[in-house]
Structure 1
């Protein structure tokens, strides 16, 4: 009997949460999976091998991708999952350094990985790239401006890239989850320039996010969407991961903008915590 050669998958940020669930799901589906994290190999039995990789480092990215190519000769699937968020905060409550840091990982890290892998896919004339986006990439959340901005960037980059690469046998998709129960929120970067003016609203949004996270869907829901995108004969550009993500995409597409806007503000109780407006003064002409 002919031996079937498994497809090779590389999944970033696979030490926990969505990345780990995705790597396990792909391995169970027959892929040979290499997961990555800054710490590299971890104790315990896993269905996939872990490699050390820091997506913010050109040298680290080149080394990890080169190791997979040296050992396997190809990469058939890249899942760009590595990323982090900032705890709920006003847009002006993060310094420029913090803004650069989140883009360095969530967006430029994704670009580094793509640039390192695409040449190998082009030579083989095939490949899939799946980027983990977010519903915040099409429906921005107040007090989450920086994270939403990175996910908008991911969505735009992915759509352009798919147009460029599909004639070379490579397809690009974005998987967009909503709230997902992972250690992700435990690793939030705290805002580094907090202002008293936002304290009450920030606390209210944080409380509401915690309430929703208590009933959030499991990371396996996102892993299922990744596997669906990876194995589709005619892959879609975007996949909503989970029931809430699908509802939000429907609302964004078909509901009046004013209705969606009011719904967001009501759900996060923003107007209830709005700062009092200054008294109007008479103007002399």
Structure 2
């Protein structure tokens, strides 16, 4: 597909106002797609050449249904859905209230499921489609002091791989993209646990410093965006695509290193007592 294609495919990217989503919208446009980007306030989103922004709140059934209906009415199809909208969360698992934990799952997991359920009937009807779910290397490994966020990404991993088996016979593929640390402001935008416990204070501060340090060497969102385009366009796509060298190394180590050695390395990297 090229930008001169008379019938360009339609890509819908959630959380496209900043970061990975915005970069993905730009790269998909360059690859020849008609791109609809979403944000919770499209009217205040900085314009991006070739991308039309529409309002969407992935935690709302009504908002999701309205958005997908409008896209189908105006463009006739959805060929690629990029489920990128999400929210970071950090702190000890015990320090997060059930309400805060539910809110994280509502966006990162149920938002993905809402969008997927909304587009699947149209993809099945047209006999083709790609659903690209943005996971994380933290969907592959333990993440001390980011347990709730890691749990949401582990959930997306299990959901996506299982769903891919269900919909393949209908011409639809569900693909995971797993970035490492990416320059998206995660360290400053992530919510921290709402019920801090003194017993975790020292290690929580260490975790905060480690995230800040990691973000200084983070990948540019374009690195992830190019992998998203590959996932959307490869003739024979894989179920998982890592994005960036760190993610690739972590994925390989998770598969090959004995669990005791891997466990020890996790504790070392997170400066946890032996």
Scaled to the shorter chain, the TM-score interval is over 0.9
- Of 195, 198, 206, the residue aligned with 1:196 is 198
Map 1:140-179 onto structure 2 (within 5 A): 140-179=142-181
Question: What SS does the aligned partner of 2:192 have?
Answer: coil
Map 1:55-66 onto structure 2 (within 5 A): 55-66=58-69
Please report the RMSD computed on the Cα atoms of aligned residues, expressed in angstroms. Answer: 1.3
Q: Quote the Cα distance in structure 1 between the aligned partners of 2:33 and 2:130.
A: 13
1:259-282 deviation per Cα after TM superposition (whole angstroms, max 9, x unaligned): 11111111111118xxxxxxxxxx
Q: Quote the Cα distance in structure 2 between the aligned partners of 1:258 and 1:267.
A: 14
Against the structure 1 CA distance between its residues 43 and 257, is the aligned structure 2 distance closer, same or farther, given a 3 Å change threshold? closer
Question: What SS does the aligned partner of 1:102 have?
Answer: helix
Question: What SS does the aligned partner of 1:106 have?
Answer: helix
1:122-144 deviation per Cα after TM superposition (whole angstroms, max 9, x unaligned): 11000000000011111121111
Structure 1 stretch displaced more, 183-192 or 117-126? 183-192
Q: Note if contact 1:41-1:49 (Cα within 8 Å) is conserved in structure 2.
A: no
Question: What SS does the aligned partner of 2:100 have?
Answer: helix
- Of 74, 80, 101, the residue aligned with 1:71 is 74
- Of 267, 270, 273, the residue aligned with 1:271 is 273
How far apart are residue 209 of structure 1 and its match?
1.2
How far apart are residue 41 of structure 1 and its match?
3.1
**Residue 279 of structure 1 corresponds to which residue in structure 2?**
none
Question: What SS does the aligned partner of 1:171 have?
Answer: strand
Q: Which consecutive residues of structure 1, in runs of 5 or more, have no partner in the other structure?
A: 273-285
Q: Note if contact 1:42-1:50 (Cα within 8 Å) is conserved in structure 2.
A: no
Question: What SS does the aligned partner of 1:19 have?
Answer: helix
Question: What SS does the aligned partner of 1:141 have?
Answer: coil
Q: Note if contact 1:16-1:183 (Cα within 8 Å) is conserved in structure 2.
A: no
Question: What SS does the aligned partner of 1:271 have?
Answer: coil
TM (normalized to structure 1)?
Answer: 0.92
